[in-house]
A and B are shown apart, each in its own frame.
Chain A
Amino acid sequence: MEILILLLALFVLSLFLGVELITKVPPTLHTPLMSGTNAVSGITLVGALLAAGSETSPMLVNVLGFLAVTFATINVIGGYLVTNRMLSMFKRK
């Protein structure tokens, strides 16, 4: 239970940090912000690796893990690459 409270504290503080950070992003970067944060949400890859890589679990778990790894990797690779592509176009003359 102690750990849960700590996780909850982390969650709530991160939400406040998020508000402080995101409100400072200018509208001109809102699309890269969406694709960039999307890549960050691909952090689920960490959870996916744990599910796909466990030994003792039934077949169904490994299959779900494989799907999770695939989805999350698309998110991570696709998200960072497309964000990088967009951001490198934002140049000052």
Chain B
Amino acid sequence: MAERLADTRNPVEATPTGRKSSKSRAASNRLTPDRPDASERARGLMHGIMVGEIQALEGAGRTAHDFDAGDGTGDTIPFELKLDMARQAWDEARHVEISAKLGDWMGTELGEFQENTVLFEAACSNDPVLRLAGVNRALEGLAIDVFTQMKEFGDLAGDPFLEFCEDWMLADEVTHVKMGSDWLRKVTENDPGRRKKALEFQQVVDKLFSFGGARGDHDESSFILARRFRELAGFTDDEVDTISELDHEALVERQAAIATAQAAAVPAPA
């Protein structure tokens, strides 16, 4: 472990003025076809997307089921929101299908990469508004960023199949985020406290799924904030700026953690 942490090839710099690895010198951490690890990373990312889509499918289905139709107060959600969740379940099911075919296309076997179920946990809040904030806005927002990046990757790699699939999934994600944005505003129209709490929860999820600043507007980001598509999905400029700041905070925290670990790993002088 100590040896691995002391490895200066770590893609994230310990400090802004620290030594840079050959990988980060090349340009950035962005996933591009010319990276030596491009194939492996793209396959791993696609596998993660598929598992995420399964969880998003389960989450949308649960939200369609868990709350009675009503005026949006208490444990109810508007009937039209239930319908939107059912529609989202269909979309996510198709995304699982697309991801499975893409994984096959890229030479990945299901189960080849280790995954987790954090996304589904964000879809299990007792307050439906928190689900909208955490899943539809934060996680589906992240999907917009990832699909934009993967679409670009397909384009650069000369892979029209990948580009085609990512483009279609991206269109659906914009729809889902817009659903989240619109319903969050509508359901909390007369309840500013509930809205504030939901937006705070969204920020927690946004920061968590920034993966230590892997997503952001800076050079070290593996994938960038897709501002244009986020705007289409109902994010204001201020909201995207806030996410960008959260991403930066996460990156600084990760850099500090790496610096601490590396310092502790350097052998004491004889």
A, B bound: no
- Chain A residues in contact with chain B, CB under 8 A? none
- Chain B residues in contact with chain A, CB under 8 A? none
